[in-house]
Structure 1
Amino acid sequence: MASTKTQDERLTEWNNTVLKYLIPNDVVLSLYLILGTIGNITVILVYVFKMKVKRDDRFFIPVLASVDFIACLVGASFAFAWNIIPVKFNNGIVCEVLWFVSQGVTIISAVLLIIIAVQRYLKVCKPSFIFTQKMKYFCTILAFCFGFAFSVPIFFYYGSVEIYNPMLNVTGFWCGQKRQNIEHVIIFDISAVIVAVIASIVLIILYILIGKAIYRKFIIFQQSVKQGKYTKNQRSSVELESVLAVDKDNENESSRSRANSIEDLVECDTYRRKVKRGSADTLDQGRFFTIGQHFRTHRYSYMFMTITALFIIAYSPRVTLMLLESIDPNFWNKPNEAIAGFLFLYRMYLLNHAVNPFIYTFFDTRFRKAVSEIFCCCCATKKSMSL
């Protein structure tokens, strides 16, 4: 029956068959796209225009949110286009450009996470070293340059590739790795895996050191609170030395950091006064206070730890599949169910870019409050207009 059909009809039949198995994948991609675009746009607008006190800790958040927004928009749109025409993707230029952008923003995100980890390490473990605004801008530009420079080989090793279906006796076009110069493709993918492994190890080591330093400070802080010795004169040397580290060459930055230090110390001073009055309830709840104040002081370190851990988990399947794809020429010649499963893992990296806004909301109380105010204002406006 297949022999009576034209080439285009057989190709369309093959495309529709694969497309049906990718419908669950489309549902997941829709969630990535909706949550990622709306969430990251909200983060950018709130942190840039709404936050009155801009902490040193928040500098990289709008930058990372911008990269996450591009990653979700381009990555999910690319995946949707691929799902609609999985074996009819014959536009090589579009394929290469989309691969380049999606790969580039992912690498930029990884480099930014390394820069953030270094900044957190210096802030917590080496507070005498000042990570200035100029250094932050320079590192951000460096991250973008490295991400796109490392992705340039995409134009040579990826594109529209012919793929043959012996069952239907038809040739289609797949947007993926080219088989020409496969040795170079393998070297490129192995290099990407090595860089990813090294970056992961560096991130893990840095956050282990940060975690150990935070734990030591927590023990000292807890003992000081229990003994009732935690006073305003001691606070900079005990728990909040990282908060009080300011950019000496920028008076505005200095005042902002001090303002946030006061914000973090309100609960400490309140608790200290209650201890002097001998409140039994306060003494019984001392452990909960120290844990809460510790978390409040180091919440940005914990936030970026969570983001980094999620990034490593979400991006690992993609790197692994890229390497397997280059080594095995028949990697994608599998049943449609297997292809759908592999593509789900291939695109799981988008989960990190889509979920980050919710992580910011959980850890940053000021951001959460600003978002609540915006939504309450919108609801009130709609209600007044309906009346």
Structure 2
Amino acid sequence: MDNETSNISAASKYESLDHLNARYSKALLPLTIFLAILAVIGVVGNIIVILVFSIGREYKNSNFKIFVLCLAVVDLITCVSLIPAEIAKHFHYFSLESEANCKIKCYFNVFGSGSAALTLTLISIDRFRKVYQPMKKQIWPALALKLCMGCILFSIILSWPAAQMCGIESGPMKNIYGGRTVVYLCGAEKKYQKSVWRDVYKYVLFMLQGGVSIVCIFMYIMIGRVIVKNWGDHNVGNTLKFDSSSRSFDSSVKESIVNEVILGPEDVKTSSGGVQIETEQQQEQQPKKTLRKQSSVFSNFSSTSRRLSSNDEAAKRRMFNRQTSGFGFRQFPYKTLIWFILTVIFIITYIIYCGLSINVAMVFTLSPRGFALFAFFFRLYFLNNVANPIIYAFLDIRFRRSCKKIFAMAKHCEFCRRES
């Protein structure tokens, strides 16, 4: 009788895996929709980035182009592999059966984070050298490409242990009836669950992430100090410089107008000694011709002066821009700002990920709502794979211009195809 009672009691506390998955997938639905939006934006955005920087005429062969393409390729791989896999997992979170899928997911997880971390560190080193060692030999595009390939190759090697150690991990989880249901998650293989090598590998990844974060933060702090100092000094100095150059520009323009109008183009001869005017005796030899010439010039004086007065400000601005375009601090450092924002997003999201990874076992005790909140912050690092195209669109006018051109070309090709 007691055995029957205990069996009935145990059966009443049993919850099937299908029912458990249904409850948690319902709680994860907002996160599922959010990840689906990220996947669409990431795939479309990174494809556009690759097209713009590969075939667009706005970008020459530069380090900026190489770094952008490297990050775009890594982000695209993540958006077509990891994010869809995470979305699919939400519908059977606690009943994973395929060990191969688990290993592939772990591999791409480490590969994506490692490639992005090393590439962003390489970018920060390149920015640092341009600011602090501008006169020394810089990283040239061919070397930048080799270094990016090296980062990707190192990440491929670094990811292999993750694929080897990952597997299906089982454990009891409290269900809706207060009982325990055995669940199956993508975790560590049984033989590696208590292995010292798994702990060593985990600490190596944490140290790599921590080291990258410290290096990037230090370098961008130093870069920011120099940019703020030189940007402020330049604005003050160039205001005075521009005013003096404007006055000299105005006087030279006015002098050329007077010489051309009063004397005539043929009467003003420039030499190494300056302006040379024909003598009075030479002018008396052809008085009528000179008078006709001056009368013609005076008739065009009004239109000439108006044209020059409307264009001299634009000419001064063009001359000023040409003078200041060669020095990095004299333009707004939008490239450095782009890399800084992307690095900050990467560091913040992966610090959250690493912190939650330490207490990942707590998912067995969380309610569906608490589990959904945990999963949201745990996978927040997917923002890194989507942020790049958005930030380029906001901060890089050349990127927007190239997108418009490519869309116009695509629209024209579609129109021609329909006409044919």
Task: Give the TM-score of the pair, scaled to structure 1.
Answer: 0.76
Q: How big is the shift at 1:130?
A: 2.0
Q: Output the amino acid matched with 2:99.
A: G
The answer on 1:368 being equivalent to 2:393 is: no
For the pair shown, which has the larger CA radius of gyration, 1 or 2?
2
Q: How big is the shift at 1:25?
A: 0.9
Q: Which residue matches 2:151?
A: 143
Partner SS for 1:153: helix
Partner SS for 1:319: helix
Residue identity (%): 22
Q: How big is the shift at 1:85?
A: 1.2
Select 2:102's aligned residue among 92, 95, 100: 95
Q: 8 Å contact 1:78–1:98 — kept in the other structure?
A: yes
Q: How big is the shift at 1:360?
A: 1.2
Partners of 1:166 and 1:132 lie apart in 2 by 57
Q: 8 Å contact 2:82–2:109 — kept in the other structure?
A: yes
Partner SS for 1:176: strand
Q: 8 Å contact 1:318–1:346 — kept in the other structure?
A: yes
1:123-202 → structure 2 map (5 Å cutoff): 123-127=130-134, 128-165=136-173, 167=175, 170-178=181-189, 180-181=193-194, 183-202=196-215
Q: Which residue matches 2:249?
A: none
Q: Which residue matches 1:51?
A: 57
Q: 8 Å contact 1:303–1:360 — kept in the other structure?
A: yes
Select 2:36's aligned residue among 8, 30, 36: 30
Partners of 1:270 and 1:109 lie apart in 2 by 46
Q: Output the amino acid matched with 1:227.
A: L
Which structure 2 segments of 5+ residues have no match? 1-7, 246-311
Partner SS for 2:96: coil
Select 1:113's aligned residue among 106, 117, 120: 120
Q: Which residue matches 1:309?
A: 344
Q: How big is the shift at 1:11?
A: 2.0
Q: Output the amino acid matched with 1:373.
A: K
The answer on 1:218 being equivalent to 2:224 is: no
Which structure 1 segments of 5+ residues have no match? 232-268, 277-281, 283-288
Partners of 2:403 and 2:9 lie apart in 1 by 58
Q: Which residue matches 1:244?
A: none
Q: Which residue matches 2:371?
A: 339
Aligned residues: 333
Q: How big is the shift at 1:145?
A: 2.1
Partner SS for 2:94: coil
1:8-27 → structure 2 map (5 Å cutoff): 10-27=16-33
Q: How big is the shift at 1:190?
A: 2.9
Q: How big is the shift at 1:195?
A: 1.9
Q: 8 Å contact 2:167–2:189 — kept in the other structure?
A: yes
Cα shift readout 1:44-102 (whole Å, capped 9, x = no counterpart): 01100123441523221111111111122222112112111101111111101111112
Q: 8 Å contact 1:164–1:172 — kept in the other structure?
A: yes
RMSD: 3.3
Q: Which residue matches 2:287?
A: none
Task: Give the TM-score of the pair, scaled to structure 2.
Answer: 0.71
Q: 8 Å contact 2:173–2:364 — kept in the other structure?
A: no
Q: 8 Å contact 2:174–2:364 — kept in the other structure?
A: no
Q: How big is the shift at 1:4?
A: 6.9
Partners of 1:55 and 1:133 lie apart in 2 by 7
Assess, with a 3 A threshold, how the Cα gap between structure 1 residues 137 and 374 changes in structure 2: closer, same or farther: closer
Q: How big is the shift at 1:339?
A: 1.4
Assess, with a 3 A threshold, how the Cα gap between structure 1 residues 172 and 136 changes in structure 2: closer, same or farther: same
Assess, with a 3 A threshold, how the Cα gap between structure 1 residues 177 and 322 changes in structure 2: closer, same or farther: farther
Q: 8 Å contact 1:189–1:322 — kept in the other structure?
A: no
Q: 8 Å contact 1:21–1:336 — kept in the other structure?
A: yes
1:372-383 → structure 2 map (5 Å cutoff): 372-378=404-410
Q: How big is the shift at 1:272?
A: 8.0
Partner SS for 1:59: helix
Q: How big is the shift at 1:376?
A: 4.0
